[in-house]
Structure 1
Amino acid sequence: MQLLWRAINEPTPGPKWAGIFQEYWPDYHRWWLKAGAEARPTYWDSLQALNTHMPELVPLYEQLCELSGGSDHAARFLSFYCPPPYLSGCSQAIWPGKEPVLVRNYDYHPKAFDSLILRTEWQGRKIVGTSDGLWGLVDGMNDAGLAVSLTFGGRRVVGDGFGVPLILRYVLQTCETAEEAGEALARVPTHMSYNVTVVDAKRRFLTALMAPDRPTQITHAAVATNHQEKVEWASHARFTATVERERFLLQRLTLHVEPEEKFVSAFLKPPLYSSAFNEGFGTLYTAVYRPRLGQMEIKWPKATWQLDLNDFEEGQRAIYTPELERP
């Protein structure tokens, strides 16, 4: 299977974003409706939740709702409030060298993925990252030198809260340091369990263990895979090898500091790199963020795409994954 990746730059919400919305909306709409519209919060409830927990985003949200065409379903979807549940794999870690570097693998179903790198200057803040849900992010960095990334937390519980990609967007729009990010992550409710790793320009870092049914724990962990303090969903843990991946990364952190290139290359091979594409948990990409420098890379086993927050070039890459063709 071939995935067409695109890198798009639009400083303020406009025709490029509107075009992306129209392209992706039919598939997102079907996903959002899979349990029926009545299973999702109303527009009023969604707006009130945003006003309560992420008020700084409300003007931007209203702009995007207008650009999307202003339908009730689109506005409710774009709020990210209590979306349908979804699962992913993923591994992430902070390189132990002096330069702040966040590395992550994103393991997810290729047919439910935006394959879009979006650079914006919404509300005066430069941000670049991997899009999800058309304005949410599964990883990214801002012009203050803050980088964030998420992994699924390995728990079945679903509750009242936001889809975590919008929470990452909120952190990057409003925070400049790891400490500020931790405060935001501890405050905003999430609808499922996620581990969010943050590093800032001074290499201060944390991992927030977020859940809908218990307070967020802010830890000093430099590694996150797909469980929190302990494994709570044994079959998911076995299938995704979350414990094995965590141990592998912790060993790399506790031994001598290896060169950045060698540390990054480990994400492109087992046990971190997953070939379980047909089961929905294959590694779709490896992302490398150097937030102090404003640099990012999207990597695959046979390709690398270098991007710069301050000298961003739009473009596209066709990435062929032979494992997807196997029965």
Structure 2
Amino acid sequence: MLWRAVSEDSPGPKWSGLFAEYWPNYKRWWLKEGETARPTYAQSRAALVRHMPEIVPLYDDLCELAGGGDLAARFLSFYGPPPYLAGCSQAIWPGAQPVLVRNYDYNPTAFDSLVLRTKWQGRAVMGTSDGLWGMVDGVNDAGLAISLTFGGRRVVGDGFGVPLILRYVLQTCETAAEAGAVLARVPTHMSYNVTVLDKKRQYLTAMMAPDRDAVITHAAVATNHQENVEWVSHARFTATVERERFLLNRLTLHRDPQEKFIGAFLKPPLYSTAFHAGFGTLYTAVYKPRQRRMELRWPGTVWSLSMKDFQEGGRHIVLPGAA
């Protein structure tokens, strides 16, 4: 995989160039069920105005940079996208300098492999891109870190793709409590577990779903189910219960030091090479919200990125078992 790190304070030529590069593949994915299966532009923008009004001016700017086309604008709204599943494990290591650690398990051919550092609307945000302005994990200049896992349910409903909800949290929130309030009210089109950690060591996990109210918990660990396993075959294949139990043991019974705890994400049972089924571990991310820093890790490789001194560049990464 070729990973890139790109920084652009305001939406401009760098983002426009990225969109032109990625759009053909995203367009095919977005239309795979037919155009009529997706909400109209009017419906999409109205949903943004209702649920995420603060970022509507940013959305309008990005639509213009993307060429002003109807399909692109509907895609960029993240409203009512096609269903998509991921694996993932995430946990808070609660030391004196707590960190948020996560594995992202997904199909490497359907992934941005891009770290974006932006200062859109005056708020600095750094994290792993999805859909070119959504985030699957990230941190902002207020010291708020966030990441997601799939919630392990088949239900698809009326709502947004969760990466845009994460972007919205990072653009508008400074504390875990503020993030929890957003996650409780913004509708998601599928079930996800979203974990947040702020600079004051406060954290929570929101279990979001399209067909029931979000459950806000003080859980430090999230894998691919919510309060109970509902999709049994998916749970068995992804070993979600076993991964959750393993992480809880690391936090409670063994009290691993930070580096040992992070290292466990790069080994079984957390690290996956099931790329044939679309659930291999693409990367391990470590977020240090007090320092406004992130690390991307692979076996034998660590890529450190700082919000204050962000270095653009690229990395070629070989994923074991991905061939």
- Aligned residue for 1:52, secondary structure, equals helix
Distance in 2, matches of 1:31 and 1:321, equals 24
Deviation at 1:320, TM superposition (A): 1.0
Q: Aligned letter for 1:175?
A: C
| Contact 2:41–2:70 (Cα < 8 Å) also in 1 | yes
Residue 295 (structure 1) aligns with: 293
Distance in 1, matches of 2:10 and 2:40, equals 27
| Contact 1:152–1:225 (Cα < 8 Å) also in 2 | yes
Distance in 1, matches of 2:240 and 2:214, equals 20
Residue 266 (structure 1) aligns with: 264
Q: Structure 1, unaligned stretches of length 5 or more?
A: none
**Equivalent of 2:149, from 145, 148, 151?**
151
Deviation at 1:307, TM superposition (A): 0.3
Q: Structure 2, unaligned stretches of length 5 or more?
A: none
Per-residue Cα deviation, 1:208-243 (whole angstroms, up to 9, x for no partner): 000000000000000000000010000000010000
Q: CA RMSD in A?
A: 0.6
Q: Percent identity?
A: 75
**Equivalent of 1:45, from 43, 50, 53?**
43
Runs of 4+ in 1 over 4 A off after TM superposition: none
Deviation at 1:256, TM superposition (A): 4.5
| Contact 2:193–2:222 (Cα < 8 Å) also in 1 | yes
Q: Aligned letter for 1:304?
A: V
Residue 74 (structure 1) aligns with: 72
Aligned residues: 323
Distance in 1, matches of 2:96 and 2:270, equals 23
Matches within 5 A, 1:1-327: 3-325=1-323
Per-residue Cα deviation, 1:170-210 (whole angstroms, up to 9, x for no partner): 00000000000000000100000000000000110000000
- Aligned residue for 1:278, secondary structure, equals helix
Deviation at 1:259, TM superposition (A): 1.5
Q: Aligned letter for 2:202?
A: R
- Aligned residue for 1:63, secondary structure, equals helix
Q: Aligned letter for 2:81?
A: P
Distance in 1, matches of 2:270 and 2:114, equals 22
Distance in 2, matches of 1:19 and 1:269, equals 36
- Aligned residue for 1:288, secondary structure, equals strand
Deviation at 1:257, TM superposition (A): 2.9
Distance in 1, matches of 2:34 and 2:114, equals 27
| Contact 1:9–1:314 (Cα < 8 Å) also in 2 | yes
- Aligned residue for 1:140, secondary structure, equals strand
- Aligned residue for 1:320, secondary structure, equals coil
| Contact 1:100–1:200 (Cα < 8 Å) also in 2 | no
Distance in 2, matches of 1:27 and 1:290, equals 33
Distance in 2, matches of 1:272 and 1:117, equals 23
| Contact 1:210–1:216 (Cα < 8 Å) also in 2 | yes
Distance in 2, matches of 1:134 and 1:142, equals 17
Distance in 2, matches of 1:118 and 1:83, equals 22
Per-residue Cα deviation, 1:45-102 (whole angstroms, up to 9, x for no partner): 0000000000001000000000000100000000000000000000000002121200
| Contact 1:294–1:308 (Cα < 8 Å) also in 2 | yes
Q: Aligned letter for 2:229?
A: V
Distance in 2, matches of 1:314 and 1:324, equals 26
Per-residue Cα deviation, 1:263-298 (whole angstroms, up to 9, x for no partner): 100000000000101210000000000011111100
- Aligned residue for 2:276, secondary structure, equals coil
Normalised by the size of structure 2, how large is the TM-score? 0.99
Distance in 2, matches of 1:256 and 1:20, equals 44
